[in-house]
Amino acid sequence: MDEYTEFKEFFEEISALPTDIIRENSYTMPYIFNKAYNENFISDWLAFILNPQINGIGIEPIKALLHLAGHDGIPVDGLFFNMGDESSCRLCREYPLGENGRIDFLINVYYSAADAENDTDGGNVLFRIAIENKIGAWEGMGQTEKYYSSIESMKRTKGNGYENVYIFLTPEGTSPGCKRFKPVSYRDFIPELKRMPVDFTRDLRKAFLVNEFILHMEGIMDNNKLSDADFVLIKYAGTLQKAEERYNRLLEIFYNELGGMEFLSSDDWKTNCPNGKRYWQCYKANWDGIHYEIVPVAENSKYYLSADGKFRVELHVEGKNRKNITSRLKTPAKAEIEGAVLRDTENDNRAVISLEFNEDFSSREKMSNSVKKIKTAFEWLNRTYTSQIDAVMG
């Protein structure tokens, strides 16, 4: 099979698959603060969700978690889960287990709040709920085994017949190293949480936090799903690598074509293309922080040589002297260039002028026409600004 046929069959197979729907990230709090997969952040949030004293929905979240872990026999409604009040809501979090580290949650369970208040040495504890919450990280070597051993050795004197509860909570229900920890998945827990009535009229803030948690964890689970399309890509990983190499070669040829523009023939001119080949620049040797550039519209993407290629040809002025330099440049009211749209750069911190294109590179003829338009744009920048920049730079 020749390379053309291999590529053709590969992309035909991908095109025939159902659309792989990737959920766009919702701007939940963790995404805003760059903690989307931060386990400590999410565990702190989960501590609020589970805490009957402060969550606004009572005992139901803990009841659901115990049910999913196979502990339906515990009379949850009549017990007190000592997780702290609004002034000490981290009481059960990052519980120290000496040389065996810290477990994400250790919840002491009592007959009553009075038993908890009067407990000075753990002697009133009925049983404990241990939860290790993993969002993206793997379990450490022997981690849950050490946790189990430490917790089982803690003091309990109440004759109650209850065993400690051990839960390993992950997006997909991953099995822990210690078999006494029961795997529970967010994929099962979140639907249970969604079924719980949340009263927005009583406390809007708490209701928002519960629903925001649900929304965020649904986003994590949706984005972690594997589809048929994913397995096709795995099957053809070698073909993808060849396609990437061929695209990089095409991009190099494209940039070499731009580098052959007549005005760049002078030794005064330099060109620059980074290893990732996301953009290409041309400038004079003495232009500190100033250059003409082609860059994709989509941030950090280099794949603009396509049937729907969106990119910009721009004049950039960067650095501490930007304001002084740009104030001395005269920009024409119009840039009459075929296929280009003059983009507003008023709030841009580097582009003085930006010509936006949407071109089709899917055949030799179309690519040739597009390259001509791009060269015309660079040549217009040269005619309009080079002498001005030379004068400013002295």
Position 22 pLDDT exceeds 70: no
More confident residue, 201 or 151: 151
Distance CA 352, CA 344 (A): 9
3-state secondary structure of 379: helix
CA atoms within 13 A on the CB side of 161: 3
Position 253 pLDDT exceeds 90: yes
Which has the minimum average pLDDT: 133-137, 207-211, 334-338?
334-338
pLDDT at 238: 84
pLDDT at 20: 55
Per-residue pLDDT tens digits for 272-290:
998 878 899 999 999 999 9
- Mean of the pLDDT values across residues 359-371? 94
Strand partners, 258: none
Written as six digits, the tokens of 309 are: 């290629």
At 261, is the pLDDT very low, low, confident or very high (cuts 50, 70, 90)? very high
Position 107 pLDDT exceeds 70: yes
Distance CA 133, CA 171 (A): 9
Per-residue pLDDT tens digits for 303-358:
999 999 999 999 999 988 899 999 999 987 677 788 899 898 988 989 999 999 99
Torsion angle of C-alpha atoms 75, 155, 134, 31, degrees rounded to 10:
80
| Residue 67 CB neighbour total at 10 angstroms | 16
Distance CA 83, CA 53 (A): 8
pLDDT at 18: 60
> Which amino acid is residue 324, in one-letter code?
N
Percent of the chain with pLDDT over 70: 94
